[in-house]
Amino acid sequence: MEGMIAKWYTANTGKSLDEFAKLARRMADQLEPRSIVLELAPGPGYFSIELAKIGSYSITGLDISHTFVEIAARKAAEAGVHVEFRQGNASSMPFADDTFDFLLCRAAFKNFAQPVRALREMCRVLKPGGRGLIVDLRKDASIESINHEVEGMGLNPVNKVLTKLAFRTMLLKSAYTRQQFEYMLAQTNFRKVDIHAEGIGFEISMTK
Ligand SMILES: C[S@@+](CC[C@H](N)C(=O)[O-])C[C@H]1O[C@@H](n2cnc3c(N)ncnc32)[C@H](O)[C@@H]1O
């Protein structure tokens, strides 16, 4: 079952490669050459792979799902780029303190079983002055705006219906409000945080 869902998600989001390329370019503009980068919960790895195509970064992806780790590693090999995809949990990361210059966590934070622990771990593994960015759905996104977003994903009619249903029945339920994010971030040692509403989601920037 997990494998089937992983494959469905991989095929679905693979239709939005432009989005991942755009995000990777935007992040690359803010990164020093040879930055040490973590993608937390990369799933099929599209962001990391697009970022690796742009510059000489050292990129690691950490995902709890063995299936996604396998898929992402295969996709990186096919793209001819080096990203180290490994299995592990956001709430207990297998990395030393002060390791990364930058980390990204996209469309995954709301799935974490221990969100505050994950935020604390993000802070721990970033270097002092390092920056983390969470991009995720916001709970107050309207159904109309979500439907509009899904329409733009280039999906076939069946997957369009399934994706809209997933947003309504699962994703919105686990999404957080701005207030909830503020409450969770207040329990971390980040020096600076900024929560910015963008489309159907938030971009949460955190500086250690
Ligand atoms: C919806 S996918 C998002 C994948 C990718 N970030 C993207 O933007 O397409 C959510 C991912 O979070 C991962 N995940 C869920 N809980 C996790 C945890 N505690 N630690 C690490 N990864 C986790 C899942 O295995 C899955 O790959």
pLDDT tens for 52-64 read: 999 999 999 999 9
Predicted pLDDT of residue 2: 76
- What's the pLDDT at 1? 61
What's the pTM value of the predicted model, to 2 decimals? 0.96
Cβ of 111 less than 6 Å from ligand 1? yes
C-alpha 2 – ligand 1 centre gap (Å): 12
pLDDT at 97: 98
Q: What is the pLDDT of residue 3?
A: 86
Ligand 1: residue of 112, 133, 200 to mutate (most ligand atoms within 8 A of CB) is 112
Given this model, what pLDDT does residue 81 score? 98
CA of 41 to the centre of ligand 1 (A): 4
Ligand 1 probe mutation, 4, 38, 63, 109, most atoms within 8 A of CB: 63
Q: What is the pLDDT of residues 60-109, one digit of tens each?
A: 999 999 999 999 999 999 999 999 999 999 999 999 999 999 999 999 99
Per-residue pLDDT, 8: 87
Give me the DSSP letters along the chain.
Answer: -HHHHHHHHHHHHGGGHHHHHHHHHHHHTTS-TT-EEEEES-TT-HHHHHHHHHS--EEEEEES-HHHHHHHHHHHHHHT---EEEE-BTTB-SS-TT-EEEEEEES-GGG-SSHHHHHHHHHHHEEEEEEEEEEEEBTT--HHHHHHHHHTT---HHHHHHHHHHIIIIIHHH-B-HHHHHHHHTTS--SEEEEEEETTEEEEEEE-
Mean pLDDT of the chain: 95
Ligand 1 centroid distance, CA of 44 (Å): 9
Angle at 48 between CA 43 and CA 53, to 5 degrees: 145
Per-residue model confidence (pLDDT) at position 144? 92
Taking 50 as the pLDDT cut, the residues of the chain under it are none
